[in-house]
Structure 1
C-alpha cells in the first residue's frame, strides 16, 4: 500500500450560538485526503487558524515528501517530515496543524485498510466515550446561561463547561459561575475554561471565589498556560487544572508535569501534530497516572483517543463544532444520555458530505 495522491481543501462553515441565534465567526476547516494505490482513501482535518498557510504547507511541502510511502509506517513518515517542518527544535503553530491534518488522514487510512476503528488501533479500551458539553459562551446573559444549561440537562447531559474571562472581570465571572451552580444543583458536573485569557493576578483572584462551587476543572486559566505560573497557581487552589488543547505536544506536557502544573491532560489531535503525537501524550499521562480528556472542538478526532486509552475519561461536545460536524459529515455521531458511541465503521468512522463540501469550499489545492 503506497500513497499515490494527496488532496487538500479549505472550507468555511456557518454556526450560531443557540438560544440567541447569534452567528459565530466562520469556522474554517482544512481537509486533507490521502489516496493509496490500492484504492483506500483516508481524510484528516485541521481547524480555524491561518488556513491558507496550513493548506499550503500540506500541498507544497508535506505531499511531495511522503508521496509513494506506505502510510502504515508512521514513524518513518514523521522522521521524513521532521527536518522539513522544523529544521531545529520543536514544531509549533501551523507546522503542527499541517502535520495534524496529514497524520489524521493516515490514521483514517490505516483503520480502513485494517477494518478497525482508530479507537481500536489505539488500544480499544471502550467503544464509547462519556462526554461533557462546552456551552457557556460569554455572549450569554446569566439567564441565558441557565436556560441553556437546563435544555442540555433535559437532553440527558450531566457534565457542562462554561467560559470565564468576561469583560466584567473576575467578580462578574464568579457571579456567573455561582448563578449557574445554584440553578443546576450539585449533582451536575460543572467546569470552567478561561481560554488562556487571564493574567496570573486575576486567575489567582478568581480561583478562591469559585472553588467552593465544586468546579470539576479549570481549563487554560492563564495566558500562554505558562508552566511556572500554572504550577504556582495550582498550589493555591483545590480546583484541578487542565491544559493542552492548542499546543499539547508531548514536550509541552512534559514541561507542565515537571512544574506540577496540571491534573488533566487535554490534547487535541487537530493542533498538536496528529494522533501519532496524541498517542505519545497518552502514554506520558499513563506514566504519571493522569486522566486523558480532550478540548478545543476536537469532535470525532478526539473522541477516539478518549475511548481508545484506558486512562481516557471525557470527550468534549462543543456546541459550535458540533454544528460544523453535522454539516461536514452525513453520519456524525450523536450523544445519547451524555455518551457518544464510536461509529461502527473503520478509521474515524464518518463519511464526508460531498455536496456540503462543494457549498463551503474556499479553495482547493492539488
Structure 2
C-alpha cells in the first residue's frame, strides 16, 4: 500500500478558516487530518505549507504505515521545523494525523487503539463559544445560564476579550496596561457569570497572554472567592520566568500549551514546574501521536492534560481519540454552538458535537477517527489536489 493522492481544503466557516487534508492510498484507504491554524491569521499560509510538505515528503510510493518516519523526515529536512512555529507544525500535524487514520482504518480499529487503548467511555467537556450571539459583556451571564441549562457543568470564557458582533472576540493586549480599571472590569465579569451559574459550575478563564504579569497576579488574587478551576495563558506562554513568577503568587492552577510546538516546546516548561495543566493542540503541535508523547511527559511531572481544540469538528473527533487514551486527561474543549454562527460549514457527515449529552462527548468506536468528510459541503473549498504517485 502506498499514498496515491492528497486533497487540501481551505474553508471559510463562521469566523474560522479550517484547513483539512485527505490522503488516499492506492487501495482506496482514506486518512483525514487538520492543520489547526483556523483562528487568528495563518490559515492560507498553512494550506500552502501543507501543499508544499505533501509534494516534498509524500510523493514516490510512501508507505502510509510509516507515520513516524515521515514525521521525522519533515522535522529533519524541512529545516524550519527545528524550533519552528505554528504554520509548519500545523502542516506536519495534518499529515501525521492522516497517516495514523489510514493505518487504523486499514487495520479495522479506532485510532485510540494505536495510542494504547481506551481508558474511558465518554469524555467530560467544557463549553467554549457559548457567548456566540452576544454583543456585550452584559449579555454573558444570561448566555452562561442558558448553556448550563443545556447540560454543561463547565464553561470557559475570556474576561478581558472584547466581544464583537456575533460573539467573535478581540483578545486583549498589553496596550491596555495604562487602563486602571482593566482588572476591575475583568473581576466584575467573573463575579456576574459566577452569580448567574451558581457555585457548582466549573469556570475556566483564558487571559490570552494579554496582561502584564503583575496585573495577572492582581486579577487572580481578586477572583479567588469565585472558585476558578484554571487560568489559561496568564502571560506569554514561552516566558518561563514570568509563568513561574505568577504561579508562585496565585492560587489558581495555570494552563498553557496551545502556542507551543512539539515535545521540545514543552520540555523547559515542564522543568520550570510553573504550570498544572498542559494544552497541546493536536492540529498544530505536530499531530496526535506527538501530543501523546507530550502527555506522557506531562504524566511524569504529575500534570493534567486538556487538549486545545478550536477548529472544525474534525479536530473534535481527533481530540476524542487522544483524550480517551491518556491517563492524565482532565477535560475536553468543545464548541457546541458553532452551528449558530452565520456562514458556518459543517465539514463532517456525522460530527460528534450533536451527540453530546449532559456535557459528555461520546467516543466513536468506528475504524480510524470514525468520521467522513461531507464532500457536498466542502467541494467548493478545494484548495488543491496532488498526485503522489
In 2, Cα distance between equivalents of 1:293 and 1:88: 24
SS in 1 for 2:62: coil
**Counterpart in 2 of 1:18?**
none
Alignment partner, residue 315 of structure 1: 332
1:362, distance to aligned residue in structure 2 (A): 6.3
Corresponding residue for 1:131? 125
- Residues 306-327 of structure 1 show CA distances to partners (whole Å, capped at 9, x for unaligned) of 1111211211112465769871
2:269 alignment partner in structure 1:
256
User: Match for 1:150 among 138, 145, 151?
Assistant: 145
Q: Which of 67, 79, 82 is the matching residue for 2:75?
A: 82
Q: Which has the higher strand share?
A: 1
SS in 1 for 2:265: helix
Larger relative contact order (Cα-Cα within 8 Å, sequence gap ≥ 6)? 2
Of the structure 1 ranges 138-147 and 184-193, higher mean CA displacement relative to structure 2 is found in 138-147
Gaps of 5+ in 1: 15-25
Structure 2 match to 1:282? 295
> In the alignment, what sits opposite 1:2?
2
Please state if 1:293 is matched with 2:282: no
TM-fit CA distance, 1:181:
0.9
Q: Check 1:2–1:320 CA distance in 2 against 1; reply closer, same or farther (3 A cut).
A: same
User: Which residue number corresponds to residue 167 of structure 2?
Assistant: none
| Aligned position for 1:32 | 21
Residue 162 (structure 1) shift: 1.3
Q: Structure 2: how far apart are the matches of 1:133 and 1:254?
A: 29
For the structure 1 residues 237 and 128, does the alpha-carbon distance in structure 2 shift closer, same or farther, using more than 3 Å as the test? same
Match of 2:374 in 1: 353
Cα separation, 1, equivalents of 2:201 and 2:83: 40
Shift, 1:365, TM fit:
4.5
User: Which residue of 2 is the match for residue 306 of structure 1?
Assistant: 323
Native 8 Å contact 2:35 2:283 kept in 1: yes
Whether contact under 8 Å (1:6, 1:63) holds in the other structure is: no
Offset of 1:63 from its aligned partner?
3.1
Query: Does the C-alpha gap of structure 1 residues 205 and 136 become closer, same or farther in structure 2, counting only changes over 3 Å?
Result: farther
Greater alpha carbon shift after TM alignment, 330-339 vs 193-202: 193-202
Shifted more, 321-330 versus 151-160: the winner is 321-330
Equivalenced residue count is 354
The answer to whether the Cα contact below 8 Å between 2:237 and 2:259 also exists between their aligned partners in 1 is no
- Pick closer, same or farther for the CA change 1:248–1:242 going to 2, 3 Å: farther
Residue number among 323, 329, 344 corresponding to 2:348 in the alignment: 329
- Aligned in 2, Cα 1:305/1:218: closer, same or farther, shift over 3 Å? same
Q: Does the CA-based 8 Å contact 1:130-1:338 persist in structure 2? A: yes
1:248 is displaced (CA, Å) by: 4.3
SS of the residue corresponding to residue 267 of structure 1 reads: coil
Question: Residue in 2 aligned with 1:71?
Answer: 64
1:53 and 2:45 matched: yes
* Secondary structure of the structure 2 residue equivalent to 1:312: coil
- Residue 28 to residue 276, structure 1, CA distance change in 2 (3 Å): same
Residue pair 2:237, 2:243 contacting (<8 A) in 1 also: no
RMSD: 2.2
- Say if 2:7 and 2:382, in contact at 8 Å, map to a contact too: no
Measure, in 2, the Cα distance between the counterparts of 1:50 and 1:57.
10
CA distance in 1 between partners of 2:371 and 2:306 (Å): 21
In the alignment, is the contact (CA less than 8 A) between 1:196 and 1:225 conserved in 2? no
TM-score normalized with structure 2 length = 0.85
Find the aligned partners of 1:277 and 1:231 in 2 and give their Cα distance. Answer: 25
Residue deviations 1:111-165 (CA, integer Å, cap 9, x gap) = 2111121222212212321101114659653442111111111121111111122
Matched residues in 2 for 1:233 and 1:281: separation? 23
Q: Compared with structure 1, are the counterparts of its residues 101 and 112 closer, same or farther at alpha carbon in structure 2 (3 Å cutoff)?
A: same
Which 5+ residue runs of structure 2 have no aligned equivalent? 163-180
The answer (yes or no) to whether the contact 2:22–2:33 under 8 Å persists in 1 is: yes
Contact 1:199 1:223 in 2 (8 A): no
Deviates more, 1:108-117 or 1:296-305: 296-305
TM-score for the superposition, normalised by structure 1: 0.90
Instruction: Measure the CA separation in 2 of the matches of 1:286 and 1:163.
Output: 28
Query: What SS does the corresponding residue of 1:7 show, helix, strand or coil?
Result: strand
